Amino acid sequence: MRSLRDDLFEGQVAMVTGGGTGLGFEVSRQLLQLGAKAVVVASRSSEHHARILAEAERIGRGRIDSVVLDVREPDRVDEAVRAVAERHGGLDVMINNAAGNFVVPSLRVKPKAWRAVIDIALSGTFYGCQAAGRVMARSGNGGAIVNIAATYAWTGMPGVVHSAAAKAGVVAVTRTLAVEWAPLRIRVNAVAPGPFHSDGAAQNLWPDEAAKEALLRTIPTGAFASVTEVAESVLFLASRAAPSMTGEVVVHDGGQWLGKGMGRRP
């Protein structure tokens, strides 16, 4: 179900890291549908960009660009964000969605794996915020940044200590920048999903039906969030419809993390 106005992003320029797959794809697709003038997707694999480029053609509204970028490289991130602003006349919205994750028992996490996940999900998110913040501050027009966290930032999740630590950092970055950058008219919010279907998540987090069923049993509503619904919250926070919202972390998890409290449901 669509709940956002067709002209919500009319004339705006947005950048989405990891915009070629999963949640990033859906956010990018909806940005175009909602009138964005230009949407730039950025991630490592140009193959991942082909689907959103084709989708943009089908939508026939706005313009889509893709940039091959590894968010672990701060200078490249800064350069790419500046290039977007120069090419499209500014940057209104930055969505820091790129992340990497895989299940591994904490006793066996190798330093290289730890660094990779922290570098992508936490440092990459901060580099994206910083680069966008610089452009938005310089323009004097401000802007909106939305970071993607996860509810295991505060519940923890056995098997993904690297990602849980990174997402806890993403929440702290979001709240810190929200206050620091409010005078610059830059809003910084986050969305914390519980499990939702994406090829990446299914492959890494619930690789078989039994694992998926076990996960579903932990969700009071008995269902995963839909990617469309999560994307709509990302877009609401990024939009002109939420001018006073900053430092917020919006949860989409079917009550999963609250359901961890004492006692059973009657």
Residues lying near ligand NAP in the complex (CB under 6 A): 17-18, 20-24, 43-45, 48, 69-72, 97-101, 120, 124, 148, 150, 193, 195-196, 198, 200-201
- Residues whose CB falls within 8 Å of the CB of residue 157, separated by 6 or more in sequence, listed in order: 163, 164
For ligand NAP, the closer CB: 88 or 162: 162
* Contact predicate 98/43, CB 8 Å: yes
Instruction: In angstroms, give the least distance from the CB of 7 to ligand NAP.
Output: 26
For ligand NAP, the closer CB: 71 or 249: 71
For ligand NAP, the closer CB: 102 or 139: 102
- Residues whose CB falls within 8 Å of the CB of residue 9, separated by 6 or more in sequence, listed in order: 31, 34, 35, 36, 92, 93, 235, 238, 239
Residue 46: phi and psi, rounded to 5, are -65, -25
* Contact predicate 149/174, CB 8 Å: yes
For ligand NAP, the closer CB: 9 or 206: 206
* 152 labelled catalytic: yes
Among 25, 152, 224, 236, which one carries the catalytic annotation? 152
Residue 196: phi and psi, rounded to 5, are -140, 155
- Please name every residue paired with 39 in a beta bridge, in sequence order, or none if there are none: 14, 64
Instruction: In angstroms, give the least distance from the CB of 11 to ligand NAP.
Output: 26
Annotated catalytic residues are: 152
